[in-house]
Structure 1
Amino acid sequence: MNRLTRAFLGLFAAPRINMREDYGKVRRFQRRLAVMSMPWRRTPYRQTVADAGGRSVSVRVFQPKERRRDDVLLFFHGGGWVTGDIETYTPACATIADLTGCAVASVNYRLAPEHPFPEGLDDCFGIVEQLLENPQRAGIADAANIVLVGDSAGGNLAAALSLKLRQQGHRGAGRQILLYPVTHWDHALATSPFASVREHGEDLRLTSAEVQDYFDMYVPDPERRKDPLVAPLESTDLSGQPTTLVVTAELDLLRDEGEAYGRALARAGNIVRIHRVRGALHGFIQLPRFSRPVREAYAVINAFLDDHLASDENDADAESPGQEAAT
């Protein structure tokens, strides 16, 4: 990427603020922005409250304009485990529902720093466990129709939930979609094992400093950040995981760790597809639905939901733009 292009994309970088001090302001700004982003139409949804280990967790359910699949996408929002909620992700979830033809259930898990690890994960686990064990109670015909989906920190939660379900001997989801997920604990420019952190960690949409702020709030104890439920790449046993789609963004510092997790899943015997969206920045799933990265991502997501894993792509190079299917 040449200097002019990088300078232009830098205009879309997250504001350089002290997230540890200003996360409350960021939350309020995100909610206002979500309301402003859809002024031309109302987004229909049904909101309910589910019990998760004795805690009440709000879940917002979106129906597509045209229901084309029986799948229910259980969605965990991004925001570094610190920002974001079902309100700020309402436009994105409405888009997910319409472009996949699936019902989408967005989980409003507790946020750090008020509720550090594992509290938000526990909220999500309580919801997932109930749905997988008794889907009919939520109006879902078959647990096989439940797909775990998350972006960024939400992708981290989806991966961690699948690991925890297997660890505790519960039935796991059959499929998961991880959108530019956090899978590792080290995002420092000097020590990260991933080239994408050094290439894109300073002046684009998401920065190394911002990710480290999020970790400071989500997992204050640095030693606990190596827990596989925080950093799934640290897991020594990735067997028995769901069929997985990993979607990464080319110009994202999280790119390489997301793809590394996909390859690690494949080496453990799981069915995995990895797709890198060219020219995309972190968080692109919240762009307008007509944008090229969004259209490309949903073409891949819909193919995945239809079980169209391309068998002729087994030798694709996940280090370069494009896609890879592995078993």
Structure 2
Amino acid sequence: MDGGRGRRKPVNRLVRAVLGLFAAPNVNMREDYERVRRLQRQLAARPTPRYRAFDREIVSEDGSHRIPVRVFQPREQRRDDVLVFFHGGGWVTGDIESYTPACAAMADLTGCVVASVDYRLAPEHPFPAGLDDCTRVARLVLEDPQLAEVDSVDRIVLVGDSAGGNLAAAVSLRLAAEGHALPRRQILLYPVTHWDHDPATSPFASVRTQGDEYRLRNTEVQDYMELYVPDSEKRRDPLVSPLAATDLAGQPTTLLISAELDLLCDEGEAYGRALEEAGVDVTVHRVDGALHGFISLPRFARPLREAYEVIDAFLDATDPAGEAA
């Protein structure tokens, strides 16, 4: 496990001032989530590099609705893996439209097909609706890999960022609890793994030191959590807070990438340590100087380039066609 980097170096005044320009606006997410959704779609609609994609729909478990999935083809397919992607946005915002630029970049930079899942959002559809949709898609492709046009279940990789990283981890936990086949690998990008983001009560230093200045704020995460899981007792469920899981044995080989200047940094890395203690093969990589949400940065951005170098190395090292490194 790579991740024992010790304490963070203090951020100097100039860098802190520049990073402050990227601070999230003070919004009441419980009231403004619809406006944020519209803004995200508008930003995603700006000109982006050409990409190849097609849309599919999967019928939900109970047949009550359809789950949109957008499949992105890389310009040059270098790997046979299919990355099943769950987007971020606090379970409340984000969709396949707003994440299209990020997913197109993911396909091109990894050389993999990327299947982006448009799960239902809170507060219209609180927990476990979004998780149910993600589990449904994952279960189907794991039961029949040919649906994803691969010849082996080992080629299915779960990927998610932020709340999507939480969903990827929760899907793996749920499948294990159900005795279902698990994906062989998962990639968790700065995931939410704990229910408490109040600086007065959180066990994680990054919640106190990084939660009031940069890209993601404590109050925003708490708003998201309350919208996603209105019942406060249910927030301690391992399917909401994976760090609360008591049995992590047998979970997929995991790459966990954290962002140094992210209030979720410590809880994400703590989940990596918990997996390792349970005997799971884990790689933890912290992107220094990175803010929350960097997977959506332009392709030339240093944090994005660094993350994809690590992702490439992970996919190569765990390629089922060869020996895991």
Alignment TM-score, normalising by the size of structure 2:
0.93
Residue matched to 2:53: 45
Pairs within 5 Å for 1:17-96: 17-38=27-48, 41-53=49-61, 54=63, 55-96=65-106
Corresponding residue to 2:180 among 170, 177, 185 = 170
1:44/1:62 contact within 8 Å kept: yes
Amino acid at match of 1:307: A
Identify which of 274, 285, 288 aligns with 1:264.
274
Which residue pairs with 1:227 in the alignment?
Answer: 237
Aligned counterparts of 2:53 and 2:303: Cα–Cα separation in 1 = 25
Which of the residues 118, 140, 152 maps onto 2:128? 118
TM-superposition CA deviations, 1:243-297 (whole Å, max 9, x none): 0000000000000000000000000000000000010000001001111101100
CA distance in 2, matches of 1:263, 1:81: 25
Cα offset, 1:140, TM superposition: 2.0
Distance 2:152 2:318 in 1: 21
Does the 8 Å contact 2:161/2:189 carry over to 1? yes
- Give the structure 2 partner of residue 322 of structure 1: none
Q: Which residue of 1 aligns with 2:196?
A: 186
Q: Report the Cα distance in structure 2 between the residues aligned to 1:224 and 1:308, rounded to whole angstroms.
A: 35
Does the 8 Å CA contact 1:51/1:127 hold for their aligned counterparts?
no
| Secondary structure at 1:45 match in 2 | strand
Equivalent residue of 2:115, what SS? strand
Confirm or deny: 8 A CA contact 1:185 1:230 kept in the other structure: yes
| Secondary structure of the structure 1 residue equivalent to 2:290 | strand
Question: What SS does structure 2 have at the residue aligned with 1:47?
Answer: strand
Find the counterpart in structure 2 of residue 317 from structure 1: none
Distance between the aligned counterparts of 1:125 and 1:264, measured in 2? 22
Moved over 4 A (4+): none
Name the residue aligned to 1:98: 108
Does the CA contact (< 8 Å) of 1:245 and 1:274 recur in 2?
yes
Could you tell me which amino acid in structure 2 is paired with residue 286 of structure 1?
S
Aligned to 2:252: 242
Which residue of the partner structure matches residue 300 of structure 1?
A: 310
Quote the Cα distance in structure 1 between the aligned partners of 2:47 and 2:214.
22
* 8 A contact 2:51–2:73 mirrored in 1: no
Q: Measure, in 2, the Cα distance between the counterparts of 1:137 and 1:210.
A: 37
Contact 1:194 1:256 in 2 (8 A): yes
The whole-number CA distance in structure 2 between the counterparts of 1:49 and 1:140 is 18
**Total equivalences in the alignment:** 308
Report the CA distance shift for 1:20/1:37 in structure 2 as closer, same or farther (over 3 A).
farther
Contact 2:51 2:75 (C-alpha < 8 Å) held by counterparts: no
Residue 287 (structure 2) aligns with: 277
The unaligned stretches of length 5 or more in structure 2 are 1-10, 320-324
> 1:14, CA displacement in angstroms?
1.3
RMSD (Å) for aligned C-alpha atoms: 1.3
Is 1:148 aligned to 2:190, yes or no?
no
1:319 aligns with none
Name which structure has the greater RCO, CA cutoff 8 Å, separation 6+: 2
1:43: how far off?
Answer: 2.7
1:133 to 140, 143, 154: 143
Q: CA deviation at 1:15?
A: 1.3
